[in-house]
Copies of this chain bind each other. A is one copy, B any other.
């Protein structure tokens, strides 16, 4: 079993967190051929936390957990905090595969999406 976590910063505005959860559901439909489950997870201010979401995925039978950082730039959260959490969960779950994809801001199709917005 393979779980995808859409990892966002988390906000004090619950509406923003719900936007991420809604996006995770939309994403689930698009990657259903590759991932059994897609969930949102949050670095802070919202639940589930990233470690809790990883642990829950593995407890549900996922042998592979993939984190996709929903961030526009490679600040400390992307470059340090998320990798540190992943390193810790790898140590806790030595038989699971836990990896991180490039973050959203690195995607070369963002310019196309913006061109449609304006």
Contact = CB atoms under 8 A, between A and B. Distances in A.
Interface of A: 4, 6, 8, 11, 13, 15-16, 19-20, 23, 26-27, 29-31, 34-35, 66, 68, 70-75, 101-102, 104-105, 107-118
Q: Please give the count of copies of this chain that the complex contains.
A: 2
A19 B105 contact: yes
Given A68-B118, A104-B114, A104-B117, A74 B109 contact: no
Contact of A104 (B31, B73, B113): B113
Contacts of A20: 73
A14 to B, nearest CB: 11
B109 A113 contact: yes
B13 A73 contact: yes
* Cβ-closest 7 pairs across A and B: A16-B73, A30-B115, A26-B111, A27-B111, A68-B118, A31-B115, A27-B114
A113 B114 contact: no
